Amino acid sequence: MLKTTLPESLGAFIHDPKNPIYNYTLGARYEEQGQLAAAISYYLRSAEFSLDPLLSYEALIRVALCTEKQGDRNFHTKTILLRAISFMPTRPEAVYHLSRSFEITKEWLECYTWACMGETLQEPTVKLFSDVGYPGSYGFTYHRAISAWWIGQADESIHYLRVLYKRTDMADYFYQSVFQNIINIQGTPKHPIIITSEDAPNLRAQFPGAGQIERNYSQCGQDMFVLMMTKGMEQGRFLEIGCDHPTKFSNTFLLESQFRWEGISIDVDVMKIDEFRKTRKSIVINADATKIDYSTILEHSKYDYLQIDCEPALNSFIALQRIPFHDHRFAVITFEHDHYVDRNTQIQSSAQKYLESFGYVLVVNNIAEDRYSAFEDWYVHPELVDPELVKRMKCISPDTKKADDYILNRI
């Protein structure tokens, strides 16, 4: 649509007052000057006279944006947006603004519902004449994250805020809002799934010593999974890539402290390494896991546990590829792929294919600390683990598995 001055738009309108494009253009000129009542009247005429549903759709969105600017007209704004949706129900722009209008009025269930509906819509290939303030599909994710918190879906809210925080294509307003909301609801700290001695009778697989474990330490029960798959092995060996804190969220502290395991722990953060040396008995190495020659540090042909947990997930995959699997085997492997924030990188599927090429079997996929944030897959080597135990523990599906539901045999 050609850019015209207000006098030019008025002249065209006078010569053809029922022309929907002339009415739309005149409405746009009045909106630019802040004359919103006049703008609304011409946008409405454009929607009424047009035989093109896309033009009617856009004109009504502009009416809604004008009524929103006028203030205290929320009911009218929502009604107009609903009418716009009726013209083009498969386009996302009006649905986004309807969800946003419910956010403004703090009608959280309605905001959540329309945001979820909007996420199912495809991005349009035909552009509108003007910028109606639709940011893209992440706008729906944003509204879903915000509204989920207020309707009691805290885990879901935190999950989608984290997903958004990892994006690099958001407008600054959304990024700052996401960041502040994460701080406000404390979505960034991890919340460990704690298994205690009281849970021992409900474990998916029993093992000696389970009833004496006061609590585990890993984020999502990785230490319990290792003990189940190794039947409570004592004096096992591990290679821990990305060890981080010596006890907090540690996958190996329980193994070392209560089951007398020993091993090698690696982290790139020198401060974490210093703290590790003060607390732990295992060998600890300060190095970039993506550059180590692992053949120089692995002394045994068989290890009982391999952890790979680097940031970002691409580094986990690079580290995985550096392990000399031809010469060294691992009974159990936990691999962090962060699929919930890296859906387009195919790291999860690439790691699965890579490990399968060395004979490893995926036992459970899409492990998470909640019901949304699938971040890890767990494997075993079938020649080093009881095959009947593998059958009992196997749980493969596209669904996200909350770790305690899996470990305590609730799925």
pLDDT in tens, 276-299: 999 999 999 999 999 999 999 999
Give CB contacts under 8 A, 24+ apart, made by 342-347: 342/166, 342/312, 342/313, 342/314, 345/313, 345/314, 347/313, 347/314, 347/316, 347/317
Distances in Å between the alpha carbon of 119 and those of 116, 123, 140, 370? 5, 10, 6, 21
Q: Nearest-CA neighbor of 78 among 128, 30, 113?
A: 113
Domains and CATH numbers, the chain: 52-185 (1.25.40.10), 197-407 (3.40.50.150)
Query: Can you tell me the distance from the alpha carbon of 115 to that of 102, in angstroms, rounded to the nearest whole number?
Result: 10
113 touches 150 (CB < 8 A): no
Helices 74-87 and 93-104, packing angle to 10 deg: 160
pLDDT digits (tens, 9 = 90+) for 12-40: 999 999 999 999 999 999 999 999 999 99
- Note whether 181 and 161 are within 8 A (CB): yes
What pLDDT sits at residue 329? 98
* Residue 52 Cα distances to 91, 93, 126, angstroms: 15, 17, 13
Residue 192 pLDDT: 75
Task: Indicate the pTM of the whole model.
Answer: 0.66
Look at residue 336 and give its three-state secondary structure.
strand
Closest CA to 231 of 262, 192, 203, 199: 203
Beta bridge partners of 335: 308, 377
